[in-house]
Structure 1
Amino acid sequence: MPISLFNSGEKPKKPSFFQRMRDAVTGETSAAPETHDTETPATETPSTETIAPQTPLELLEREGSGTLPIVEPEMLSPIDLAQAADEAVERELGPEAVTPTPPPTAVPDPTRNEFGLKPMTSNFSFGGYASAEEEEAGFLDKMRSAVERTRDQFGDSLSSVLAMGRTVDDEVLDDLEAVLLTADIGSTTTQEVIRNLRQRARRENATTDDLKLMLKEELRAILDSVQQPTNHPPQPPEVIMMVGVNGTGKTTTSGKLAALYGTHGRKALLCAADTFRAAAIEQLEVWAKRSNVEIIKTKQGGDPSAALYDAMTAGKARGVDIVIVDTAGRLHNKAGLMAELDKMRRTAHKLVPGAPHQVFLVMDATTGQNGMQQARLFTESAGVTGIVLTKLDGTAKGGIVIAIARELRLPVVFAGTGEKMEDIIPFNSDAFLDSLLG
């Protein structure tokens, strides 16, 4: 159950947004908040106002009388019309002639949650929910768009190598190796894939049609080998730290993630802990307004651990589900900045056991293999649990996803697919390979 955003007290609670959405979809009505009317003093003169008819039959009988607006039968629900018919029979033949009709009871759908929505089925667990249309149509469309440039270059080259009906020989495999290298899969990963394909092709006497399916299976095995369950804490808030070098898009990704979690029913809080870069706090404030989430900040040059402390305290007090911490960009060889990051980790752990629960390394897909060495050393010292690959739509070398999984031994959990707030999706290996290879 999502955490209530209302404090307990004497004030009646309004139905939540999801409760009102469920009522609109299912036709049910939320229970109205209890109200306590004050007693009318004994000396007060009773009201002489005309009492409106209380039953559907009276509404129909008094149609056009002038005391009420005209009520058309179509304006009443089927239940009201049935009730009016029962009242008419009761007046003519007596109460015994009417058999009360019990109100229809809604049968709960076991495949949907209390909000009337189906649970997420992606590998990365939000702890929230999304509609089936969002998961299937929107997700796949965004993934196809994100790898379009890679598919155009990689797919054309792959098609020319794997001509229909050709027998797999050393020449085909050598050409395929060159194609994989141009997609930025990396030499180490490419050599491993080609070695496995050569063994399978000889053993199964494969053709080029078979080779394409074998390639897809090899790449899927690499991506799936690093998948791991998400470390959700038993009690909120869940703390996510965004780390990485300068210019990869940490601040933008923090704002996008806050909006994404919000659309899945989780209340997020942004922490502006990048106190080093000029205008970083202001930039995160803009994203907070766009995604309609709160932000905890301090002045530029302040202690980022102090900002984190304030954000964690506010998150616990306000009942938020997610605290997303935007940290300063740093290189792995900057001892002072890495020590500062370690201090932030200790501060988070003191306030919330197990925090930070997720440490996302933000990588720019356009840098390709050039950013792999920095990322490799960064993951060793920062306790990274997953990769957020930004600007995937801006490169023709989307094969870097395979290299990350093989060489960094970390899963890509999110992919940036554009500049808009909604242009971020959870990464899915099947959708990625289907979009890339067909």
Structure 2
Amino acid sequence: MTLLALGINHNTAAVDMREQVAFTPVQLESALAELRALPEVSEAAVLSTCNRTELYCVTHDTQGERPILDWLGRFHGLPIEDLAGCAYHYLDVEAARHLMRVAVGLDSMVLGEPQILGQLKEAYQLAREHSGLGGELERLFQHTFAIAKQVRTETGIGENPVSVAYAAVSMASHIFDDFSRSSALLIGAGETIELVARHLREAGVRNLVVANRTRERAEVLTRQFDGRAVTLDEIPEVLVHADIVISSTASPLPILGKGMVERALKRRRHRPVFMVDIAVPRDIEPEVGELGDVFLYTVDDLHEVIEENRRHRQLAAEQAESLIEQGVGSWQHERRIRSAGDLIRRYREQGEAVRAEVESQALAQLARGEDPEKVVSRLTRQLANKLMHGPTLGLREASGAERHDIIAAAEALLFDSSRSGDS
């Protein structure tokens, strides 16, 4: 069995490719079922965020990642050549290390951002609920969550919270000198928008409007920040008053089109609007950026702000890398012990079968009235010969083939007195 991590993220693909391979919440369940049903896959979990789509699988196929990549292309109707050019994959130990780095935020666009751990836990829970997890992925995810908690506790990786949401608000501050005079329209009501709302409120924005598909969910969020909740249908009206627009939904189609924004600008008398589209797929049509009074940015445009934050967190990241290496080492050690379990079980069963056979013969001889002393002597000799026969033949063959590694391992196992005992 091989542990495989295959994905596409912000380091390997632009936003237009990432949005094509992203799974919407509606697609996730069927995607997981399809992936798990592949003959090459015995366990699977799917992680899909605005910056990455990753598949974690336990596979027994000798072709490695290719069947999984083929499936990803079929699911999204994409040419395999396009995917292969921006996909990455890791196997076994490297896959475990990658998952831990993702969980801690070391592989994120914003170094150390905390949201990814929650998203990873959601992916784990979904896989668990739909029979995607077996023993291998279950143990890996649990081990990963423990390491992530240790990193958050023992390093400064999570201090001074920074995220895509924070970067978006930081960029807006370069355009608006006084946030208290600005009105903000936030589209969506998920965790990212909640973070945006918090950062905007802390920056001084007092007029917040949250638009969401369901008004109830938006109201839950706006109650925290004394804002106003509207539905998506009301966006054309509230857009007229918005100086800042930040959108992050899971909609498969754009929510803001060029025509809608043009009409709002006319009513605003062309006062400028700052827009950030954090969503993948995009919520705002790219053509909106062609309008003269709109400053439109996507997640890819946030790199400069993010790099500044990354420098501040580099020391903590180095400490986190060290803890992750320890975590990978302990996971690998436990995995090796588990992999030897079947071998140990079969070896003990073989020894027990030999013992039972020799015991049966000895009892039969005693029942016939043979000398007990001779029976015991014969029993011990037969038992020793049967137990040593296989290893002796193996050592002779290894010696003839000059397999010194096998001979050295056998010597360590057979003559290490510290291993002796009655267990």
* TM-score, reference length from structure 2: 0.24
Higher relative contact order (CA 8 A, sep 6+): 1
More strand by proportion, 1 or 2?
Answer: 2
Q: TM-score, normalised by structure 1?
A: 0.24
